[in-house]
Amino acid sequence: MNPDTDTSAPTVQEKAAAARQPASRSAAPASQPATQAETCPTQPIPLRKELIDNLPYAAMILLGTAVFLAGLDHALWRWLLAGLYFAYGLAGAIWVMAFVCPYCHFYDTRLCPCGYGRISPKFGTKKPDKSFAKQFKKHIPVIVPLWIIPPIAGGILLYLEFSIALLILLGVFILNSFVILPQVSKRYGCAHCPQKDECPWMTRSRLFAKRQAATDD
Ligand code: SF4
């Protein structure tokens, strides 16, 4: 059947409105106003894409955990520090869902690229969207040490006792966390976000890109 001639097929606005229905009620009929729908992506994010968007963060936590497992000899310290880092990684994701996502347009919808938006209602109630940038700046520093701890700890462990396995792990951690993860976020996850103009992360990226372009000229 040609979708262009199928009058029963949902319109783009209807699909967008359906996707913006609370994720917990995604089977409900579309009823959002078209003006609101027009500011957001038009399709619910499939589970496969949500999983892809989460892969670099999951890889960072697993690689960071592996740095402690590979770099420490003492069994107690090895498992204690690896476990603490792993738990911090899980807590960091929950922290974002509890304290950042409730201020996002994508809260309780299926439009969030990484799926946090539809889990967020389990951790916090909806807050005003206009505070998003302030909340983002306030809470993102809570998870920044996840990027910093493994390179510092791994560097110290390498200095104390060189190991090629640990060196490779650290290299892969740095490549994933500082190159792949931000690129996946910017090009895939955040690229279509309606809040990218207010988001400090994206604003800084654009300023950096402009500065680069000016330098290249
Ligand atoms: S786009 Fe970001 S802030 Fe918005 S719901 Fe998804 S993870 Fe949370």
Extents of the domains making up the chain? 12-23+45-191+198-216
Cα–Cα distance for residue pair 66/76, rounded to 1 Å: 15
With a 6 Å cutoff on the Cβ, whether 99 touches ligand 1 is no
Output the average pLDDT for the chain.
Answer: 80
Residue from 40, 97, 100 whose mutation best tests the ligand 1 pocket (most atoms within 8 A of CB): 100
Check pLDDT > 80 for residue 209. Answer: no
Sign, Cα dihedral of 144, 145, 150, 155: positive
Half-sphere exposure of 33 (CA within 13 A, CB side): 2
Give the closest residue (by CA) to ligand 1 atom 7. 116
CA nearest ligand 1 atom 3, residue: 101
Atom of ligand 1 nearest to the CA of 190: 1
How deeply is 85 buried, as exposed, middle or buried, from its count of CB atoms within 10 A (0-12, 13-18, 19+)?
buried
Model pTM score: 0.77
For residue 161, the model assigns a pLDDT of 93
Determine if ligand 1 sits within 6 Å of the CB of residue 106. yes
**Considering only CA atoms, which of 24, 179, 40, 165 is closest in space to residue 32?**
40
Q: How confident is the model over 13-66, as pLDDT tens digits?
A: 444 445 555 554 443 333 344 344 444 555 788 899 899 889 999 999 999 999
End-to-end distance of the chain based on CA atoms, in angstroms? Answer: 52
